[in-house]
Amino acid sequence: MNNNLLNVIIAGLKLTTPTALASGILGYSAESMQAVAESGAGAVVTKSVGVTPRMGYANPTVVQAKTGLINAVGMANPGINEYIKEISYAKTILQVPLIVSVYGYSAEEYALVSKKAAEAGADAVELNVSCPHVKYTGSEIGQNPKLLRDVICKVKAEVRKPVIVKLSPNVTDIVEIADGAAKAGADALTVINTVRAMAIDAETTLPVLSNIRGGLSGPAIKPIALRCVYDIAECVKTPILGCGGISDWRDAVEFLLAGASAVQIGTAIATEKPSLFQDINRGVTAYVKRKGFRSVNEIVGKSHHA
């Protein structure tokens, strides 16, 4: 979309639209990410990649809840040594920034994978310190301020590209965690990852997900995510990518007003039309114009001064 009004710069990344593809969604192959970019996404985030391949969990890995989805895919990924081929290929076809999501079981692993991703051409890395369903990584790191600080510092020492940190809502005080991440050097924060949840089938009496516990996404978590963005924006200066249940332009605008500089979209890709990104971009443009602003940047954090 050639529309300067929607241009944003976040952590040095130039986005032509403020709507990005969230991690975990369609993020294996360069071609599927390119399809999403062509549909209007301003940036794409890959699936989370680690040092070694992971097969993920047995199905069921995704369960429908009344107003959202619960997933425990289990961070299936081919490992960074294999995935760098896809990163290099993606860079040859993508016109938007490529953000590689990274996980590890130690600060050293996060740093190693981030370094390889950046060398392969990633425009930024997003540290997954918030996946709620894999042991010894993800939110088990993001819930521990000391570990989190160590991870960010080690990655920053290895990588010159922007380092984005994706936060978990499954903490007592997300502002404290965000503040710690900012002080450790995070260039931007993605707020939020999924909310820990589960589903039980009454007839069989069994938990449905093979992993029992997973993460809730979709409209159900939007108000939670919005509050997290608002709270963090109030106290922390680091730019925010809002994420959680965004499925139309009004949701996106609300996140920008709460203090996000851009948003990420995931679950709605399944539930809404293929024109989702374009529809949201158009809706945001119309809103910005109707309210008399020249740029989407002018509405960021507006609710705080209302």
Give the C-alpha separation, 20 to 28, whole Å.
Answer: 16
User: Three-state DSSP class for 23?
Assistant: coil
Q: What are phi and psi of 88, to 5 degrees?
A: -60, -45
Nearest distance, CB of residue 81 and other proteins, angstroms = 10
> In 10 A of CB 39, how many CB atoms?
18
Give the C-alpha separation, 250 to 227, whole Å.
Answer: 16
Nearest distance, CB of residue 266 and other proteins, angstroms = 7
Our CB check for other proteins shows the closer of 132 and 219 to be 219
Which residue in 130, 80, 141, 158 sits closest to 243, CA to CA?
Answer: 130
Our CB check for other proteins shows the closer of 99 and 178 to be 99
Q: State the residue for tokens 């042991």.
A: 135
Our CB check for other proteins shows the closer of 88 and 210 to be 210
* 245 within 8 A of 267, measured Cβ to Cβ: yes
Distances in Å between the Cα of 288 and the Cα atoms of 5, 31, 232, 265 are: 8, 32, 23, 20
* 234 within 8 A of 176, measured Cβ to Cβ: no
CA diameter of the chain: 56
Query: Which of 131, 153, 228, 235 is the catalytic position?
Result: 131
Rg of the chain over all Cα atoms, to the nearest angstrom: 18
Our CB check for other proteins shows the closer of 189 and 195 to be 195
Nearest distance, CB of residue 136 and other proteins, angstroms = 18
Our CB check for other proteins shows the closer of 68 and 142 to be 68
Q: Tell me which residues touch other proteins (CB under 8 A).
A: 24-29, 31-32, 34-35, 47, 53-56, 58-64, 66-69, 71, 73, 76-79, 82-83, 199, 201-204, 206, 208, 210, 218-219, 247, 266-267, 269-272
Instruction: Give the containing element (helix H, strand E) for 25.
Output: none
Nearest distance, CB of residue 115 and other proteins, angstroms = 21
Cα within 13 Å of Cα(304), Cβ side: 18
Our CB check for other proteins shows the closer of 203 and 237 to be 203
Cα within 13 Å of Cα(38), Cβ side: 8
Active site residue 131: yes
Nearest distance, CB of residue 206 and other proteins, angstroms = 5
Nearest distance, CB of residue 54 and other proteins, angstroms = 6
Give me 172's structure tokens.
């007592």
Active site positions, annotated: 131
